[in-house]
Structure 1
Amino acid sequence: MSDLPKLPIRFLLSDMDGTLLLPDHTLSQRTIDAVRSLREAGVLFSLATGRPPKAMLQQIEALGVDLPTAAFNGGTIVKPDGSLLAAHYLPATTALIALALFADQPDVEVWVFSGGDWLLKDPHGPMVPREQHGLGYPPVVVESFEPYLERIDKIVATSNNTELLIELEAQLLPKVNGMAQVSRSQPVYLDVTALEANKGTALTTIAEYLGVPLEQTAAIGDGGNDPAMFKCAGLSIAMGQAEEAVKRQADVVTAANTEDGVAQAIEKFILPR
């Protein structure tokens, strides 16, 4: 952890699942009120998540977000009018490497996100109900992922066997080094996205669009895909329930998402300044 920056924060970029949202994927009233207070104080606020764009709409409306938002870990940055500020697709050759590795794992479900759709081969996988509840829409069942190789936003390997996902992450990283981002957005999700599709690039792109220097930005998150934006932000905040490896890369640590950690961080680290 480092000393807190002296400049006031003008823009906060927040992760969603495990950060802004409670475990049941809802927003607490305290969090909604804290974001409103932030905006009333003139501090800009937006979202960066591994979710697809259309799985962010309810939260965007509830929080009154009127800035570009980052989906697919920064792979797609969408302006408020629905137009794209940036889009980064996973190279087809890299996608095939990841899909081949995951295909040999009977305890792993494999999902592909392309063109706004959530694609899978087995609609009865044990992780499907959880994802459908979180996204708010059902998957599209396909026989093969090959027709979608040229426009893949994200590949997800998911399993309740978190140790297996850690092993797969270690196996995949050297295979796609310099070609893709590989990170566990949550303990049960291993995400594979384009090299440029990371939350650090997303923070940099949105801050530049808004005309805010990086030293006056803040980022808050809990997952393995969040330190990328921690490294770019003037102030980085980890959630209380985050893994120790994530906490070590943040300037400060707030409470868990079940304890309104985002609201506490806004009240303690941003608004007073």
Structure 2
Amino acid sequence: MEIRMVLLDIDGTLVHQRRLVPSAHRVIAGLKQKGLEVALCTGRSVLHARRVQDVLGVEHGVYFNGALASSRGRIVQAMPLPNDVVERMIGFTRQHDLPLIMHTTDRAVTLSPIPEPLQPLLNAYDFSPIEVVDEYPLSDKPTVFQSNVLVTPDWDEEIQRQLPECLLYRWDWNAIDLQQGACDKSVGAQALFTHLGIKPEQAVHIGDGGNDIPLFRHVGISVAMGNAAAPVRRQASLVTKSVEEDGVLHACLALGLL
């Protein structure tokens, strides 16, 4: 079936050590020249992804591991966390003195300053500036799409028990994402497919993380980066070179998309 859309993860796929890979501009320009729709599909917040999206000129995005999707500036899916869930999250993290960051569409906030020893983690992932606010809720309606709790894996089971409504995704030894349990990248991507009139089998997704697996299973062609862990590579239609070796470019060439 004809491919009409390419979805791309950011970290470990287009970005390595806080920098876009040299071939990223060539890839995006080439795909658009061929008439293909291109979307960034990431666990990052809108704020965190915006710099990459603007630099590359990508018009579609799936953020927060699927909780928010937008097309040419129009939101086509929004699944924020209910305020009562966020309030329980705040209560639990305060009780145990666990650093918590909350993400809206345009802010990253915390109720307590992030401890200095954890700043290198945020710097390594090029986090946007984090505001310290006095209270939550931030508004009358739900506005938090994702939270980061900066904890080691020994906390995962208890956090999941306390917040069963949430999807827990670990992206670093010292950090997890929490968001709506019904979300994953395939859910956000499907909102884009429906909006654009594209069938899932007409799409390619390229990524390197465990959060890419649900979308791998949903699209016509899935490509794992060479730097992906073995369980991720096993779920893909094919495996390309690593991010340092311009794996996205090589995949697009191999598939005849460029």
TM-score, normalised by the number of residues in structure 1: 0.81
Q: Is the 8 A contact 1:45 1:65 kept in 2?
A: yes
Unaligned 5+ residue runs, structure 1? 1-6
Superposition map of 1:27-106 within 5 A: 27-66=20-59, 68-80=60-72, 82-103=73-94
Runs of 4+ in 1 over 6 A off after TM superposition: none
Q: For each residue in 1:106-150, what CA deviation from the matched residue of structure 2 results, as whole angstroms up to 9, or x when unmatched?
A: 6x5321113522112124433335435745642111345555693
Identify the match of residue 14 of structure 2 among 16, 20, 23: 20
Q: Is the 8 A contact 2:45 2:105 kept in 1?
A: no
AA matched with 2:53: I
Could you say which residue in structure 2 is the equivalent of 1:264? 250
Unaligned 5+ residue runs, structure 2? none
Q: Is the 8 A contact 1:184 1:223 kept in 2?
A: no
Identify the match of residue 142 of structure 1 among 119, 127, 133: 133
Question: Structure 1's 95 and 16: CA in aligned 2 closer, same or farther, altered over 3 A?
Answer: same
Question: Structure 1's 255 and 101: CA in aligned 2 closer, same or farther, altered over 3 A?
Answer: farther
Question: Structure 1's 171 and 269: CA in aligned 2 closer, same or farther, altered over 3 A?
Answer: farther
Alpha-carbon shift at residue 202 of structure 1 (Å): 1.1
**Matched-pair identity in %:** 25
Q: Is the 8 A contact 2:169 2:177 kept in 1?
A: yes
Could you say which residue in structure 2 is the equivalent of 1:156? 148
Could you say which residue in structure 2 is the equivalent of 1:241? 227
Q: Is the 8 A contact 1:238 1:253 kept in 2?
A: yes
Q: Is the 8 A contact 1:51 1:135 kept in 2?
A: no
Count of paired positions: 256
Alpha-carbon shift at residue 156 of structure 1 (Å): 0.7
Give distance in 2, aligned partners of 1:181 and 1:136.
Answer: 21
Partner SS, residue 56 of structure 1 = helix
Superposition map of 1:101-250 within 5 A: 101-103=92-94, 109-120=99-110, 121-131=112-122, 134-135=125-126, 137-145=128-136, 150-159=142-151, 164-165=152-153, 167-177=154-164, 179-250=165-236
Question: Structure 1's 16 and 36: CA in aligned 2 closer, same or farther, altered over 3 A?
Answer: same
AA matched with 1:12: V
